Amino acid sequence: MASEIIRMDARTWRIEDGGVRFFLLTGTERALLIDSGMQVRNARDIAASLTDLPIELLNTHADRDHVGSNAQFDAFYMHPDEEPNYRRAGRGGTLLPIRDGATLNLGSRELRVIHLPGHTPGSVAVLDVSRRVLISGDPIQEHGHIFMFGPQRNMADYIRSLERLEGMQGDFDELWPSHADLPIAPALIRRLIDGAKDILAGRVPGRPAEMHGTPVTAYDLGFDTLLCDP
């Protein structure tokens, strides 16, 4: 399936790559790819077709559907807690550590990193400060499947991250996730908090399912499905 390039505004694009999307943001001095795709292996070439600015890469996390074109980059921004997951698949390149509260300025466009552990230990979101948009990665989706199974997922951390993010809603008007619907309203954060707590308390029935050959339990919240360990 060919990727689809969609222009969001004069300096922002999203690239739909099958069931995942990644983003290109430009300022006056440089450009930033947020994730590098799943099926594509030429995300840098796609970005270069849209801008003449120097292109850098930031990964929201290291799941394989977000790092498809990382080999095109000698270095990339990533939270250091993601490195074990990233290297496990034998991937190379220099990890440039980026932590909670870090800022990147593309030139008249400031981006702020928000650490959201839970889905993975080093998951991050990127706040486009002046545009009041949060590029949220995987932890927040609407009408999607949020992966919470496997050794690196932690539901308690996930809830704490969402609760912290809920307290930051004055900084953004909408969220752009990596999967499913876009945009989504900040009010979804509270619904995910309540849903995750209901799952832990046994108030949501689960059903056996399978994802990529792995047995999971699927919890249907009505607006999202969380896939957890059996």
Q: Label residue 1 by pLDDT band (50, 70, 90).
A: low
Opening angle at CA 120, ends 219 and 184, nearest 5: 60
pLDDT digits (tens, 9 = 90+) for 126-169: 999 999 999 999 999 999 999 999 999 999 999 999 999 999 99
DSSP string, 176-224: EESSSSSSB-TTHHHHHHHHHHHHHTT-S-EEEEEETTEEEEEEE-SS-
Model confidence, pTM? 0.97
Class of the CATH-defined domain 4-188: alpha beta
Opening angle at CA 97, ends 174 and 18, nearest 5: 50
Gap between the Cα atoms of 40 and 16, Å rounded: 10
DSSP string, 44-111: HHHHHTT--S-EEEE-S---GGG-TTGGG-SEEEE-GGGHHHHHHTT--SEEEE--TT-EEE-SS-EE
Provide the 8-state DSSP code for 160.
H
Q: What is the pLDDT of residue 2?
A: 77
Gap between the Cα atoms of 192 and 203, Å rounded: 14
